[in-house]
Amino acid sequence: MVHESYVTDETWAFDCRRCGHHWSIDYELQHTAGFGDEELRLWFRNGLPAMAPGAGVPCPHCGGLRVAASRPNTPLSSSTGDAGTST
Ligand SMILES: [Zn+2]
């Protein structure tokens, strides 16, 4: 039995829809193989267990809970008219 576990660093961006505050948080995401294809994911922040980014992070500025979390590695490129397949 091999329990594979690895940690990735992810930076999430947050936008408060109440006061417009924008900030980002660095997380360490621990991936641990579970049963079958299931993957257990544990979130850490500064080495301490943390809630998942999408699980209701309050705004540090106004305390609002209407916060939009943006995932990392999400390509925001809208390829419109840019150089693409031209060979
Ligand atoms: Zn706010």
What does the domain layout of the chain look like in residue ranges?
A: 5-70
Residues 6+ apart with CB under 8 A from 67: 14, 15, 16, 17, 56, 57, 58, 59
Q: Who surrounds ion ligand 1 at CB < 5 A?
A: 16, 18-19, 21, 59, 61-62, 64
Give the distance (Å) from ligand 1 centre to CA of residue 67. 8
Does residue 66 register a pLDDT over 60? yes
- The CA 76 to ligand 1 mean position distance, Å, reads 24
Measure 29 CA to ligand 1 centroid, in angstroms.
25
User: What are 25-40's pLDDT values in tens digits?
Assistant: 999 999 998 888 888 9
pLDDT of residue 79: 44
If you measure from the C-alpha of residue 53 to the centroid of ligand 1, how many angstroms do you get, rounded to a whole number? Answer: 16
CA angle 74, 44, 72 (to 5 degrees): 5
Eight-class DSSP state of 23: E
- pLDDT in the model for residue 18: 96
User: What six digits make up the tokens of 85?
Assistant: 């397949």
User: Does the pLDDT of residue 17 top 80, yes or no?
Assistant: yes
27 CB neighbour count, 10 Å cutoff: 20
